[in-house]
Amino acid sequence: MKSVRADKVFTPTTPARLTFVERQTINDKVVDAIQTPGKQVVVYGHSGSGKSTLLVNKLHQLYEKHITTRCMSTLTFDQICLDAFDQLRPFYSSEIAESSAVKVSAAARADYVGIKSQIGAELSTTSQRKHLRVAPPQLTPQALARFLGEAGCCWVLEDFHKIAEEEKTNVSQLMKVFMDMADVYRDLKIIAIGAVDTARQVVQYDPEMRNRVAEIQVPLMTSKEIREIIDKGEHLLNFRLPEEVRESIVWFSNGLASVCHHLCLNICRASSIVETCPNLTKVGKEHLTKAIEQYISEASDSLKYAFDRAFRIKRKGRYDNCRIIIEALAGFEQEGAPHGEIMDRVKRKEKNYPAGNLTYYLNQLTTPARGTLLRLDATSGRFSFADPIYRAFALSFFKKHPDQRIEFKMIDISEFVISDLKVAMLKDFKVDVVWKPVSQGSKLK
């Protein structure tokens, strides 16, 4: 068996290659959209659901070349276009452009070199004394589309949901240009990836473009698909997990491939598996416990941030809405519950709680403004915690503060030591652990 590194098998922060799981229905939609000339693509779904992994693997199968722009909230439309222009440089160098592999016309290469020289100009901002590159007038959407088309490149916009709304509108117009030029360049295509619930939230395009844009939702992975990731990893690294540990990983992952990869990599590290084992190695429950402890420790900052934003009270009212909803949802299993069931549980404590409040704040808790603490599975209609550690923390928090109206910013996160969160995460599996009171001065390591 060929040896492979554990961090190449389980990849929580990068697209999976060795443990890629074919999801036939979604794969077919992606392939059909990519292979349709002029069809632009919007891929969306929950963060960690496997969008990037799916797309990267399919692009490697279908496209000889593609470039990727990783979007941020500060990027302008000009900067997005300049990033794509910069990445095309290798295809327009003398050596590559004249090779048989990439047939870029002499006219296109001359135009590229001309615009490249124009981009050397810089604009100095007097307030911050920074130098910003400016896109010259010659770098029009049509010119960029031509450069990409000549190079035979597909353009991927990763995390496109992060950029400002007005920039999304500009890119939607760029998509229209790409559509119109597909007669000349059949492979010309923009693929926008966003971690939201609808394609409209990713790209603000005109209604007339709807039939020319493929909207592909990547749902959460099924339990079977999560198990396939584990199966592939076990085979590649030559180790075996007990069935109860496998089921625990599936439960903790709650449909998120990234969580599965993270826990499996932590298990490998806890059991000193760095690469493929020469002999079949068995891994036990104790390694899962260590993996969860490491996962919690690494997530402490994001945990504090998410709950701080979720519990923030912007104005005093009759109800502490977010606290009420989070406490109710924490009482359900990890897969969460639909609106009606959450309402029933809320009314056990707040008999007159308005249904409109629940609807509004449930949706708020799925947004960055409230720490993206929750997520909505559009298929099942269930709201659940975006990360299993969030539910574990909520269980721990409300056990210690059952009846107090208290702002989260007043709580020291060091109260919730790893052992407490570990108990909250393991208790559903009847693991032999006991809830221990927090000792004075305990710190989250």
pLDDT over threshold 50, residue 432: no
Does the pLDDT at position 347 exceed 70? yes
Kindly tell me if the per-residue pLDDT of 443 is higher than 90.
no
pLDDT band at 270 (very low <50, low <70, confident <90, very high): very high
pLDDT of residue 273: 96
Would residue 186 be called left, alpha or beta, if left means φ above 0 and alpha means ψ between -120 and 50 degrees? alpha
The answer to whether 202 and 16 have CB atoms below 8 angstroms apart is: no
Predicted confidence (pLDDT) at residue 10 exceeds the cutoff of 50: yes
- The 10s digit of each residue's pLDDT in 286-302 is 999 889 888 887 887 78
Comparing 168 with 140, the larger pLDDT belongs to 140
What is d(CA 304, CA 324) in angstroms, rounded to the nearest whole number? Answer: 18
Give the pLDDT band (50/70/90) at residue 444.
Answer: very low
Q: Is the pLDDT of residue 323 over 80?
A: yes
pLDDT tens-digit readout, 38-52: 898 988 887 778 888
Lowest mean pLDDT among 102-111, 146-155, 312-321, 409-418: 409-418
Look-up of token digits 């088309």: 149
Order of strands across the sheet that contains 40-44: 66-70, 154-158, 189-194, 40-44, 213-217
SS3 265: helix
Highest mean pLDDT among 91-95, 307-311, 431-435: 307-311
pLDDT at 420: 62
234 has a pLDDT exceeding 50: yes
For the chain, the maximum distance between any two Cα atoms, rounded to a whole number of angstroms, is 75
The pLDDT assigned to 201 comes to 60
Give the helix/strand (H/E) hosting 172. Answer: helix 165-180
Confidence (pLDDT) at 5: 97
pLDDT at 410 over 50: no
Place of tokens 């001065």: 441
Q: Residue 125: is its pLDDT beyond 50?
A: no
Highest mean pLDDT among 265-269, 299-303, 304-308: 265-269
Question: Does pLDDT of 283 surpass 90?
Answer: yes
> What residue type is 188 in one-letter code?
L
Contact 124, 131 (CB under 8 A): yes
In percent, how much of the chain has pLDDT > 90?
A: 33
% of the chain surpassing 70 pLDDT: 80
Query: What average pLDDT does the chain have?
Result: 82
From 39-53, 242-256, 394-408, the region with the lowest mean pLDDT: 394-408
369, β-bridge pairs: none
Q: Check pLDDT > 90 for residue 267.
A: yes
> How far does the chain reach from its first CA to its final CA, in angstroms?
39
Average pLDDT over residues 166-181: 86
pLDDT of residue 202: 60
**Of 165, 413, 426, which Cα lies nearest the Cα of 292?**
426
> What is the distance of C-alpha 216 from the center of its chain?
15
10 Å CB burial of residue 370 (0-12, 13-18, 19+) is buried
What's residue 94's pLDDT? Answer: 58
**pLDDT band (50, 70, 90) for residue 197:** low
In this prediction, residue 423 carries a pLDDT of 64
Q: How confident is the model at residue 393 (pLDDT cuts 50, 70, 90)?
A: confident
Q: Is it the case that residue 158 has pLDDT exceeding 70?
A: yes
Residue 42 vs residue 133, higher pLDDT:
42
Tokens (6 digits) for 115: 């615009």
Arithmetic mean of pLDDT, 78-107: 77
Highest-scoring range by mean pLDDT, 193-202, 204-213, 367-376: 367-376
Section 371-395 average pLDDT: 85
Give the residue from 338, 378, 372, 377 showing the smallest Cα distance to 358.
338
Using pLDDT thresholds of 50, 70 and 90, give the confidence band for residue 360.
Answer: very high
